[in-house]
């Protein structure tokens, strides 16, 4: 992950990873069939983290402010490693193919993030804090897409939480009165 964030997709090689870990290159290939198998496991591990985050977020339904809960979730979801891994998935066809065979969302990580947000919005709708007719399956990817743009347009640092919260409140304006 350090190599990916520091050197980008083009700098992420098996040699760079083993050098960063200070191990012989053969160590990586003893545990994984090839570099894409290693990367697949890396992404699947991140997806498992999103699934854990989704459960914790759903547990927040009915507590705190909806916009505050979503802002924190998006700030956590789009931390620098996640953004770099999304770029990696986009750049590597073989990695995407393996992830699809593993049953990931069509757009790995981003799709799981949208499912996380949709699950939370459904739970809030069940609590009566989101309008009963709110289309959470449209709102969730809208929030993910808008937040993703905020995070990827900055090269030096993530956006301020206030900017993310503004996106959340704007997207959800028609779905709830008090965020």
DSSP H helical segments within 22-79, as ranges? 25-31, 35-59, 66-77
CATH 1.10.357 positions along the chain are 36-171
The confidence band for 176, taking pLDDT boundaries of 50, 70 and 90, is confident
The confidence band for 55, taking pLDDT boundaries of 50, 70 and 90, is very high
CATH number of 36-171: 1.10.357
Tokens of 126: 């069940």
Q: What is the pLDDT of residues 30-50, one digit of tens each?
A: 899 999 999 999 999 999 999
Q: How far lies 42's CA from each of 45, 91, 109, 118, 166, in Å?
A: 5, 15, 11, 24, 32
Under DSSP, the state recorded for 47 is: H
Tokens of 154: 């900055």
Tokens of 45: 């591990």
CB-based contact 99:40 (threshold 8 Å): yes
Instruction: Find the mean pLDDT for residues 16-28.
Output: 90
Task: Report the chain's mean pLDDT, rounded to a whole number.
Answer: 92
The confidence band for 101, taking pLDDT boundaries of 50, 70 and 90, is very high
Q: What is the pLDDT of residues 114-173, one digit of tens each?
A: 999 999 999 999 999 999 999 999 999 999 999 999 998 766 788 999 999 999 999 999
């Amino acid at each position: 992950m350090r190599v990916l964030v520091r050197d980008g997709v083009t700098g992420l090689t098996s040699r760079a990873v083993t050098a960063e870990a200070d191990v012989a290159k053969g160590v990586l290939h003893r545990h994984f069939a090839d570099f894409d198998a290693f990367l697949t496991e890396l992404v699947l591990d991140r997806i498992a983290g999103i699934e854990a985050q989704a459960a914790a977020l759903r547990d927040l339904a009915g507590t705190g402010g909806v916009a505050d809960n979503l802002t924190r979730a998006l700030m956590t979801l789009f931390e620098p490693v996640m953004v770099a891994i999304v770029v990696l998935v986009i750049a590597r066809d073989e990695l995407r193919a393996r992830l699809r065979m593993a049953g990931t969302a069509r757009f790995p990580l981003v799709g799981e993030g949208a499912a996380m947000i949709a699950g939370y919005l459904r739970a809030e709708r069940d609590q009566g804090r989101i309008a009963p007719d709110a289309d959470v399956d449209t709102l969730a990817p809208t929030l993910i897409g808008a937040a993703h743009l905020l995070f990827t347009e900055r090269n030096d640092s993530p956006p301020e939480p206030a900017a993310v919260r503004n996106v959340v409140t704007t997207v959800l304006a028609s779905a709830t009165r008090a965020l």
